[in-house]
Amino acid sequence: MKVFSSVYTFDYSWEECSTANWRKYCPWNDKSPHVIAVDTLSREVDPATGILRTERLITCHQQAPAWVVSLLGGSNTSHVYETSYVSPAEKRVTMCSTNLTWANILRVRETVTYQPDLTASSPGHERTQFTQDAKITALCGGWQKIRTKIEEASVERFSENARRGREGFEAVLEMSRRVFGEERAREQAKLH
């Protein structure tokens, strides 16, 4: 098993990040053209805790290495199952995802959290800490060298995708702030 970990601070409030998270794969994000569809499977609020729980299926077009496709078959379409928990009381979003495609060969378990970064925030300038952890395990029997190579290559690719994902989410956050700001200004103008 190989592990990928990353911590990043977005220069946006938790409210902005938790709201924009639902638009992460929209046209504003030009860094995620590989995401073909995001289907919400279920969504419910726990009446006791106020936590919003959502299950989604994310469909992607991922160019797998040619040798992998020729050896294992399959296509370049992959599916990821994601469960997210939004706790407004704790100001915390937790998203857990796992690959469904080729899960018998390679297992990727990712956990992402968004929460206020109290050490980097100041009044009127809130920031959000983004933590991303992934455990990547190749499941190819006793071939340790092959398993290690697959895991190393997967962590490297995951790292590249994570960087592009953060860049794309920054674009979504920027556009959201602008669009919501313009809408607030229009509403204020109507009141006066």
Contacts of 69 (CB under 8 A, 6+ apart): 75, 76
pLDDT at 75 over 80: no
- Segment 142-185, tens digit of pLDDT: 678 888 888 998 899 899 999 999 999 999 999 999 998 899 89
Q: What is the pLDDT of residue 65?
A: 66
Say if residues 154 and 106 touch (Cβ distance below 8 Å): yes
Higher pLDDT, 93 or 31: 93
Q: What is the pLDDT of residue 36?
A: 94
Burial 129-165 (b: 16+ CB within 10 A, else e): bbebebbbbbeeeeeeeebeebbebbbeebeebbeeb
- pTM (2 decimals)? 0.88
What is the band of 139 on the pLDDT scale with cuts at 50, 70, 90? confident
pLDDT at 141 over 90: no
Instruction: Classify 187 as helix, strand or coil.
Output: helix
- Segment 14-68, tens digit of pLDDT: 999 999 999 998 888 888 888 999 999 999 999 999 999 999 999 998 776 676 6
Q: Which residues partner with 60 through β-bridges?
A: 35, 78
Q: What is the pLDDT of residue 93?
A: 98
Antiparallel, parallel or unpaired: β 92-99 and 106-116: antiparallel
How far is residue 96 CA from its own chain's centroid?
Answer: 9
Q: What is the pLDDT of residue 104?
A: 87
Higher pLDDT, 109 or 184: 109
